[in-house]
Structure formats: structure tokens, C-alpha cells
């Protein structure tokens, strides 16, 4: 794996498109671990994560518990491989440690653990991240801090009732410092979301709950940048970003396929996946 050690200020040394490519390659590398990893949902969320960590979130990797930091919560904890790759690029952990993904006794578990610098909360049991985000946003406001809170959820995850309780609370409490993102790749472990438990009209549902709601291409970095860096349209309303994504994005072998949810990559499959990713990247403008 390529090693990124240099950081400049609070941002990674790589431009965001190159960071996203590096993250995808590292996700595939972690997919060669003994139990594999959740490749599809990690790759669909990569562009959102790369943009947030490289250009948006106020963080101090050398001081991970800095009181005025922005908070990021990965509610869809099974996408941990992408988060770990981004945290390594930002300097929260050595890039070499990614090779220990999924190893018993290591810090890089299949779902994020609080003992890892840069992880705010452990996540794995789905449906709880937005509630944690609500609590974090309340705390920041009560403490008079300018911290923003970002929560990334899966679209299958938002079939959980607890998500909508948190959605009601955030709007009622006027948490303008809270932004939630739904990774709308339209696939969950058992198939397409609309076949398992229909979510549409999704944007209208969030608007009806009192959220400022934006729909965006979750792989368009310019569009994501415009959404995440713009001041809230209504300062006392939480923001929902529905990021339209492709499960397994960037790897033709896995794109929009249920089988990409969790994969163990043997040497041959890893070579095929990595080759497809690099070939696709060369064709991008």
C-alpha cells in the first residue's frame, strides 16, 4: 500500500480526488484480510468521506480530542475500512497499521472502536448514529462551541425506527449545527432497499420532519463541496444530504451488486478488482 505521511495544517497532502482513489485502493487491500471487509458500502461512501476529511472537518490529528473539533460519526459502521483509510491519510494513525485490519487484538476492528484516535463513538449496531449526533450537537451548543456534527448513515439503516425519533428531535431542538448524510446506494445486505422496505419519497420525508434537505450526486466532489461548505439555508434547522451513490463505486466487478456488501478478496480477485479500479480511474477526466 502507498504510504501517506505528510500533512499540511489540518488537511491531507493529497488533493481530494487522489485521496479518494487511494482510499479505494486501501479498502481493496483490507478486503484481503482473513474475514474480508464490507467493500460495497465502503466504496460508495469514499467520496463523501474524502471530501469531508480533506476539506471540511476542523480536526487536529495530533490532538484528536481537541475540544473545538468538528465531530464525525460513522453510523454505518460496517464501512470502517474507508474510514480507517481516511484517518490514516489524515495522520490519525500510521498507514502501515492498515495491514492489521481485522486482526484479533488490533485497533482496526470490523466496526470502529472508540480506542482508535479520530473515532468519536463505536458503531456497528445500526440505527443509533443519528441519536449520537443529536446529543453531540446539543453538547456543542450548550458549551458555546462552534463545532459542527456530521453523521453518515446507510440507506438500509434508515429503515430503523430510532432514526426517525432522532430526526424529530433534531428538528424540534433546532440543531442547525447538525448535518446528516444518507449514502443512498439503494442496496442493503439482502437486496435493493425499495424491495425490502421502500424509502421513497425519501427527500420529502426528511423535509416533512423539518430538515433542510438537499439531494446530490455522492460521487461529484464539486457538488459535495458546494453542499458541505455552504452556510445552512436556515440556521436553526438540521441539514439532510441525500447522496446518490453506487455500491462498489469505482470497481466494475462490484458496482451496483449485492455481492459486494461483504467480500473476502483472494490474490486473484484482488488483482482483478484493483486492475479494474485503476483502469476506471485512468478513464476519468
Instruction: Give DSSP secondary structure letters for 98-118.
Output: GGGTT-TTSS--SS--TTSTT
**Cβ atoms within 10 A of the Cβ of 39, count?**
29
- Summarised one tens digit per residue, pLDDT across range 106-163 is 999 999 999 999 999 999 889 999 999 999 999 999 999 999 999 999 999 999 999 9
Q: Is 226 helix (H, G, I), strand (E, B) or coil?
A: helix
pTM (2 decimals)?
Answer: 0.94
Q: Using the predicted structure, report yes or no on whether residue 10 has a pLDDT greater than 70.
A: no
> Which value, to the nearest 10 degrees, does the dihedral of the CA atoms of residues 195, 198, 202, 206 take?
-140
- Summarised one tens digit per residue, pLDDT across range 37-91 is 999 999 999 999 999 999 999 999 999 999 999 999 999 999 999 999 999 999 9
Q: Cell numbers of 54, please?
A: 480533506
C-alpha 26/C-alpha 49 separation (Å) is 14
Q: Using the predicted structure, report yes or no on whether residue 285 has a pLDDT greater than 60.
A: no
CB 97 within 8 A of CB 108: yes
What pLDDT shows up at residue 233? 62
Amino acid at each position: 500500500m502507498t504510504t501517506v505521511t505528510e500533512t499540511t495544517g489540518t488537511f491531507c497532502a493529497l488533493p481530494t480526488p487522489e485521496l479518494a482513489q487511494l482510499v479505494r485502493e486501501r479498502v481493496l487491500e483490507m478486503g484481503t484480510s482473513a474475514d474480508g471487509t464490507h467493500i460495497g458500502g465502503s466504496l460508495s461512501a469514499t467520496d463523501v468521506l474524502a471530501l469531508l476529511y480533506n476539506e471540511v472537518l476542523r480536526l487536529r490529528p495530533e490532538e484528536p480530542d481537541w475540544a473545538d473539533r468538528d465531530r464525525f460519526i460513522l453510523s454505518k459502521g460496517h464501512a470502517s475500512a474507508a474510514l480507517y483509510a481516511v484517518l490514516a491519510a489524515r495522520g490519525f494513525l500510521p498507514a502501515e497499521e492498515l495491514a492489521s485490519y481485522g486482526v484479533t487484538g488490533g485497533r482496526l476492528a470490523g466496526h470502529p472502536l472508540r480506542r482508535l484516535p479520530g473515532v468519536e463513538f463505536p458503531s456497528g449496531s445500526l440505527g443509533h448514529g443519528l441519536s449520537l449526533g443529536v446529543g453531540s450537537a446539543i453538547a456543542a451548543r450548550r458549551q458555546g462551541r462552534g463545532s459542527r456534527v456530521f453523521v453518515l448513515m446507510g440507506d438500509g439503516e434508515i429503515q430503523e425506527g430510532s432514526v426517525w425519533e432522532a430526526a424529530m428531535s433534531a428538528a424540534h431542538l433546532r440543531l442547525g449545527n447538525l448535518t446528516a448524510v444518507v449514502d443512498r446506494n439503494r442496496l442493503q445486505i439482502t437486496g435493493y432497499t425499495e424491495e425490502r422496505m421502500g424509502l421513497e419519497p425519501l427527500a420529502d420525508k426528511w423535509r416533512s420532519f423539518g430538515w433542510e434537505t438537499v439531494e446530490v450526486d455522492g460521487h461529484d466532489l464539486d457538488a459535495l463541496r458546494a453542499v458541505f461548505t455552504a452556510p445552512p439555508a436556515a440556521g436553526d434547522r438540521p441539514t439532510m444530504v441525500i447522496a446518490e451513490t453506487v455500491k462498489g463505486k469505482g470497481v466494475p466487478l462490484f458496482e451496483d451488486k449485492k455481492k459486494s456488501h461483504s467480500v473476502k478478496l483472494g490474490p486473484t480477485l484482488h488483482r482483478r478488482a484493483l486492475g479494474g479500479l485503476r483502469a476506471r480511474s485512468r478513464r476519468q477526466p
